[in-house]
Each structure stands twice: as C-alpha cells, then as structure tokens.
Chains A and B, each alone.
Chain A
C-alpha cells in the first residue's frame, strides 16, 4: 500500500508491530486516531499508554505487574495467607483471579524450563520462590503450570528444590473439563480421570 504521508506510514508500521494487528488494522486504527480531536487522543489514549510504559513495575515479591515496588495482591494478602500459587505468566494470575476461588499469594515464574528454547533454571524466577518459602511461614505451594513436557519438568524441578523445606506441594487437578463431552476427551486425560476419580458428594437440600 502506498501512503501520501510518511508520518502515517510510520504510525502504521509502529501499530502493526503489536501482536494480532496486521497492516490493514493498523491503517484503520491510525485513520481513526487522526479523525479524532487531537487533544482527546493525546489525553485519553497516548498519555495512559505512555504512563503505563514508563511507570509500570514488576512486584519485587511475586513478579506480578505492580504500580509500586509491591503489587496489590501481595500488599493485601501477605499477612493473611500462607499459600503460594506458582504460575508461568502474568496472564495466568489474571485467569485464576477471575475464578474468585483463590485468596492466596502468587509467584510468576516467567516461563517454563526449556533448554531447547534457551530457557534454563537461572532465567526463571525460581531462586526468589525458594527464598520466599524459606523466609516466610509458607504452608503450601500450588503448582499451576501447564501439563506439557516442559511444564512437568518445571514442576518436578521446583518440587525437588522445595522438598527439603518441608512445605506441602500440590498440583492442579487434571481431568475432564466442565461442559465437555466424554467422547471428545483425549485418551490420556480420560484414563487419568478414571484413575484419580473422586467421591461424588450429594449436596444437602
């Protein structure tokens, strides 16, 4: 596509660097921004993004996103909870928070151990987790890591590191998903679900 303005061309190129945004979407967004009132765009759109980029921090305790040195979850729950949920990424924290089922602390690893992709133990937030468990009165560590080969590797490694500290290590339950149909479940999941079946509880009326 040819542009009459080099400024436009550069803005389109910049926007299309974003994940999920192609050239055409980038052009549409750019034209939209041009059509809006200039000060509105700067105030409502450019300023918040610039501020986020310059001011956002990673929590020094759990490596979640934070406005200050410590994230809001750590500030609110540190004295109340002694459970840490270990996740790969910040998005996993958000997913678990959305369930409203967990009121404990988090620890963001920043990935899983995968030497083939150049990610070894020292590239992940593992030492800080071990220190956290050592230094505070942590009772339980929940492994909420994907059940892939690399995820399993990470879980095993972490469990071995935590073992001498005497902390209870638990794993997210694995099995048939809600609303899923049995015939579409893969054999491995179904087999494991049979083996690790749970008692049916009749709720009191």
Chain B
C-alpha cells in the first residue's frame, strides 16, 4: 500500500499541510520541533486509529483549535485507491471514514494500511517494563489476526471488570471472582497460543537479522515468559484465587506476559553493550516489518523517525540493502538536515523525494 497524499488540519503543531508522497523513499527534514514526528504520527493514526505516543484524542488537536482532521489517499498494487479520514472534535467522539463510509470499529481498519513506526523511544523495548514488549506483540498480531484482536479486546474488558470486582467492599466471594476467570480461560488459551507461536518465530527472525548486521556471531534468543507456560490454565487461575481476593487485584493473566531477550544465553538488559542493543532494536523493528509483510502479503509503510541518528556502518548498509531489494514498499523518514541522507542515497544510487518543513508548514518539495 502506498500513501499518495496526506492532508492535515490542526493536528498537533501543524495548522494545515498537504503533501504528495512517492513510492520508495521520502525524506522529511527540518529543525527539531518543526513537526516531522507529528507528520509520521498522523500516518500512524490513519493506520491504527490512534496515536503512536498513546496520546488522548483531545491532545492531538492543535492548541486553541476545536478539531483535528487527517486525510490519507492510498493506492494499492492493483491500482485501487482508498481514502481514509480520521477526525475528532473537542467535545465529540473520534470518527473514522474509509472511502467516505463511516468505520464503526477500528477493527475494520486494522491491517488494511499496515505501518511500522520506528521511533527514538525504542530503547524502552529493552529497558522498559513488560508493557512495551507486549505492545510490540499486540500491535503486530492485531494488524494481521482479527481473532487475536477480538480475544484481546474481550479479555481486557473482563480484566477491568474483574479488577473492579476485586476492589469492591465487602470483598467478593470466590464464586464472584471465578465468574470472570471462567470467561477468561478460553481467551487466555487463544492469546497464549498465538503469542507463543509468534515469539518463537520472532526469535528466529531476530536472530537472522541480527546476524546480518552485527560484527560478531553472537547468538540472540527470545523466551516467552508467561504464568501459563506448560501449565493447565484453569489450574493457574485456581491457585491464585484466594491470594487475589485478599490482595484485591488480579494476579493471574496474560497482562503479566513478557518476552525475555538473551544474548549468548545472558539477559540483554544486564549484559548487552550499547552496540549490541542498537543492533537488537533494529532487528526487533525489522522483525515487525517482516511479520506484517509476510502475513498480510503487503509491504507495510515504514516510518523511520530520526533514524540516521542511530544507525551506523553495518546497520545502515543493511537497511539500505533492504530498501534496494524490490519490491519494497514505501519509506518515510525524517532527519534534521537533508545533506546527510542526500549523501547516503546518492552514493547508493537510490531515488528519493525530499520535503522541507518548518514550524508545521511545508516549505519546498524537491525530487
């Protein structure tokens, strides 16, 4: 899927902007605070219906304005065109339209315009809590597996109800809590199975990409950390029931899952060097790209925010190699100055388009 045109109205610091993009490489450059990342976030919003940075919809509206509106015109390989509109008014509910028809559930949008966002806050994938890593799994699986998405949404709703039940006074009895467990168990089964298969494959993919870009032949591996590993799910729920009631919060569930990342059998978090971590992050992001293109049969749009800042030597060549491999989808990257990217792309003979933006406005577009 190629994003041909992007229109923004009152989105974050951007007042009004319209941009024509090309297949292949697009470089957006400008000073810090010019609105480069916001532009990428708008593209992310069109694909997933929400901001990459977990911002509430009102926070996406430009200061002192009443609404935002983001429009994307896409075209697919077989020359079909799609229009996506996401708009939100301060007092109202966010609305999404696909080809001028209202989309009632984000589910209908997910996976149609796949996107991978590589942002500077990536480091949390290694050092942050389990939530960041679960988000990575969820984002990928939700875009390509609607069964997973439905199970996860239902599970989260039940979890919130169960949490509220555990916090009430007088304390709930066992049956009241079991009522939720009973409904969660089949969902946990589905989600656990899918996560488990995904993480296994993820390990192999990361290992492959990592080997391509790192100097040494270190072995990277992943492990799915879950309370349900090799266990009967219902039994795990049963074991914690009394503890949950006395401590008044849920102790069991897939909300406690995590992925452990190892290098040479040792935890990355503790033993990875700066260079190794950079290579790992790059491999993890590219694995997301790999999965989406494989399961959707479609190249996602790759959004690289401030990326040359972090790439060097082998990683850069590996990325360029990937970009040169046809057929490659669309890449939209940002940089503080054009000259650096210009030099790289021209050296490798890769065509690109460049757009300068400043203070939320488009200055020039050159090819």
Contact = CB atoms under 8 A, between A and B. Distances in A.
B172 interface: yes
Interface stretch (B136-144, B173-181, B250-258, B331-339): B173-181
A121 B154 contact: no
Interface stretch (A4-12, A26-34, A149-157): A149-157
B216 to A, nearest CB: 49
A149 B178 contact: no
Interface in A58-90: none
A150 B161 contact: yes
Given A156-B182, A156-B183, A149 B175 contact: no
Interface stretch (A43-51, A109-117, A168-176, A197-205): A109-117
Contacts of A192: none
A115 B163 CA distance: 8
- SS class, residues of chain B in contact with chain A: helix
A24 interface: no
B171 to A, nearest CB: 11
B231 interface: no
Contacts of B175: 157, 160-161
A116 B158 CA distance: 10
A157 B177 CA distance: 9
Interface of A: 113-116, 120-122, 149-150, 152-153, 156-157, 160-161
Contacts of A160: 175, 178-179
Contacts of A161: 175
Contacts of A153: 158, 161, 179-180, 183
Nearest to B153: A149
Nearest to A148: B157
A116 B178 contact: no
A120 B165 contact: yes
The 10 A-B pairs at the shortest CB distance, nearest first, are namely A115-B164, A115-B165, A157-B179, A116-B164, A156-B179, A120-B168, A149-B157, A153-B179, A160-B175, A115-B161
